Every structure is written in C-alpha cells, then in structure tokens.
Amino acid sequence: MSAQTAKAIFLKEYPNGMPQPDQFELRDIDAPSPGAGEMLCRTVWMSVDPYMRGRMRPDIVSYIPPFSLDAPLEGGAVSQVVESNVDGFAPGDYIVDFLGGWKSHYLSKGERTQKVDPNMAPLSAYLGVLGMPGMTAWAGVTQILEPKEGETIFVSGAAGAVGSVVCQLGKAKGCRVIASAGSPEKCDWLVKEAGVDVALNYKDYKNAGELTKALSEAAPKGIDCYFENVGGMHLEAALNCIAFGGRMALCGMISVYNNNEPEPGPPNLTNMIGRGVMARGFIVSEYIDKAMEFAMEVAPLLAAGKVKFQESKYDGIDKAPEAFIGLFKGENFGKAVVRVGPDTA
C-alpha cells in the first residue's frame, strides 16, 4: 500500500456555531504499518454522531477528550482486518471499534474492538441498530425508564438512529408511544413502519406552548416516560405533560450543541418536584458491561422484523463532513453512515 492510498479527514479549526464544510480537510497520510500487538484495518463504513460536536469544543471538559487539530478525526467504524499481529484477529475479520472513522486505514490494538458477522446483518447496521445508537436506546429504556405495559412514552428526535429504536422497544414492551420528528416523511415512517401511536411534526409548532397542546391531546393522562434527544421546547413540553412518578432519560440535546452562548433552562423545572419526576442523564459507555443483554434482546427483534431501521448513506470518505453537518440540519433520516471502502477487499 502506498501513502497515496491512505486518506483521512482532519479538522482545520474548531467550529464556532454550526460546523462548516471548509473547516474539514481530506488529506493523504502515510500508510500505517502494524507492529507487535497491532493490526492494520481498512475502514468499510464510518459513523457520524452528534456527540462528535462536543469533541470540537476544546474549552469544555467532557467525558471524552476533544479532537486534535494535528491528528485525523476518529469515531465508530466497521472495518476489515488487513494484517494482524493481535491474537484472536485474522485478516478478513470484520470488526467494530471507535478508532476507524474519518480515515481509510488505521492501526488498532484490538482494545474495545468487537468482531461482527457480515451474514447476520448489513455491515452498516453495526453502527446503528446493532451498534452504539441501538445500545444507547436500549440502555435508556431498560435501565432508566423501565416502562411498564400500558404506560405512555414520549420520544424526541424519534426518527434518528437512537430515537427510532426507543420507539420500537417501547412498542415491544406494550407501551403507547408518541414520537416527535421533523418532516411528514419521517412521521409517516414512524407510524407505518416503527408502529408508533402518534407522530408529531415539531415543525408544525411555533413554540413550547403549541407543542404542549399537541402532546397533551395525544396523551391526556400525561406521559410516564420521556426519552430526551433534542432539548429546547421538547423538554419544556415534556415537563408540562409529565405524569406523577414520571421518568426521564436524558440522552442528548442536539438543539443546543451549536449554541455559542448557554441557553436558559426551561421555566417549568419545578413540575419535577410536585410530580415526583426522576431525570437521569447518561452515556452509553456506562452500560458497556450489559452489551450481551442488549444483543440478546434487540438482535432477535431485528431478525423477526419487529425492529426496523432507516439509514442515510453517503458514498465516499470525502462526504463525511456533509453527513456530519446534516445531523444538525435535520437532513438525515435514521442512522447517518458513510461508505469509506468496499464491503469486501
């Protein structure tokens, strides 16, 4: 392999507000060569995820270090092993790890790396419904919300990679599911394919008051569980409609990720006191020890057609910045994935 065949995307500067295409740069890099205890991997599919925006803020302390301007970006990927000096991994194996995104080839020591079966599901599904987003949804539902049959769940960002799985897990547990998404097409899919009871197009509502009215009409007895992906008026409306003893799983608040100034919190937080509401923020790595439980519950549902998924596919590593920026413009439907290389070498 020559240096020209290895490519990677670098961040040229840290975004101020909405990321822009010219803040990313595709460069040729030296082809890596595996040493002892390393393996050379070829990226097949890479993931773009909202959490990556937080890694583009060097001034904010978070659970994961910020990206460097001097190294390729990194993220989740499905890759194929090309050369291996790591026990348990052989050339031709397909793997998922958190290093391969944004580059065509990279070195891995096999840490936090999982083999995947290309015959069980499309390779890209291991970045979505069977990957980190799917497990995020499962953890929030089963470990935090713990919905009971007959309860009502409200899901913001419901047509996304996480939200769509939350909706379907809720239905599998016998719950009434109210979903919010940003287009008629997404709402239609949520009702007809994901099986939600009500899908609200949040772009039809000008403010939290209007969304609250629609939500209260869809759930006249209140919502028992809220899975938070968006923030803003969704959180305010959910707090207006939360039932006594309600639970909230705080997964993300994508509406504020590009703000340059902190956004004021919702004015109705006091509803949590009188209604005895539990709100728990979480990240998926907290539940990594339960990965097998997740796979044993979701994989059979996927195989049986009881969990369906959508993908927005981009072709070519040069499209990764476009796919990433699309997360914040509502352009992607389901999981956004980028094909970096062919499925087979």
Residue 73 pLDDT class (50, 70, 90 cuts): very high
| Model confidence at 44: pLDDT above 50 | yes
| Model confidence at 227: pLDDT above 70 | yes
pLDDT (mean) for 320-327? 97
| Model confidence at 165: pLDDT above 90 | yes
Q: Report how far Cα 226 is from the mean position of its chain's Cα atoms.
A: 17
CATH superfamily, domain 3-128+310-339, is Medium-chain alcohol dehydrogenases, catalytic domain (3.90.180.10)
More confident residue, 32 or 189: 189
Residue 264 pLDDT class (50, 70, 90 cuts): confident
Percent of the chain with pLDDT over 70: 99
| Model confidence at 269: pLDDT above 70 | yes
Residue 3: its pLDDT value, please?
43
Residue 321: its pLDDT value, please?
98
80-93 b/e (C-beta count within 10 Å ≥ 16 → b): bbbbbebeebeeeb
Residue 49 CA to residue 75 CA, distance in Å, equals 8
73-82, 111-120, 227-236: range with lowest mean pLDDT? 111-120
Residue 62: its pLDDT value, please?
80
- How many of the other CB atoms lie within 10 Å of CB of 288? 12
Residue 166 CA to residue 171 CA, distance in Å, equals 9
Q: State the average pLDDT for the chain.
A: 95
Query: Are residues 345 and 93 in contact, defined by beta-carbon separation less than 8 angstroms?
Result: no
Angle between helices 161-172 and 291-303 (to 10 degrees): 80
What are the tokens at 301? 């549902």
Fold of 132-286: Rossmann fold (3.40.50)
| Model confidence at 170: pLDDT above 70 | yes
| Model confidence at 130: pLDDT above 70 | yes
| Model confidence at 64: pLDDT above 90 | no
The answer to whether the Cα torsion of 241, 203, 131, 8 is positive or negative is negative
Query: Are residues 234 and 240 in contact, defined by beta-carbon separation less than 8 angstroms?
Result: no
Using CB atoms within 10 A of its CB, is residue 264 exposed (0-12), middle (13-18) or buried (19+)?
exposed
Residue 324: its pLDDT value, please?
97
Size of the chain, expressed as the number of residues it contains: 345
Residue 1: its pLDDT value, please?
45
- How many of the other CB atoms lie within 10 Å of CB of 326? 17
The CATH 3.90.180.10 domain(s) of the chain lie at: 3-128+310-339
Mention every residue, 6+ apart, whose C-beta is less than 8 A from residue 209: none
| Model confidence at 45: pLDDT above 50 | yes
Residue 345: its pLDDT value, please?
62
Q: Can you tell me whether residue 240 is helix, strand or coil? A: helix
The CATH 3.40.50.720 domain(s) of the chain lie at: 132-286
Q: How far apart are the first and last CA of the chain?
A: 13
* Nearest one of 320, 252, 258 to 57, comparing CA atoms: 258
Enumerate the H helices of the chain as residue ranges: 51-54, 132-139, 161-172, 184-192, 208-218, 233-241, 271-274, 291-303, 320-326
| Model confidence at 111: pLDDT above 60 | yes
pLDDT (mean) for 213-237? 98
Query: Are residues 143 and 284 in contact, defined by beta-carbon separation less than 8 angstroms?
Result: no
Residue 169 CA to residue 147 CA, distance in Å, equals 10
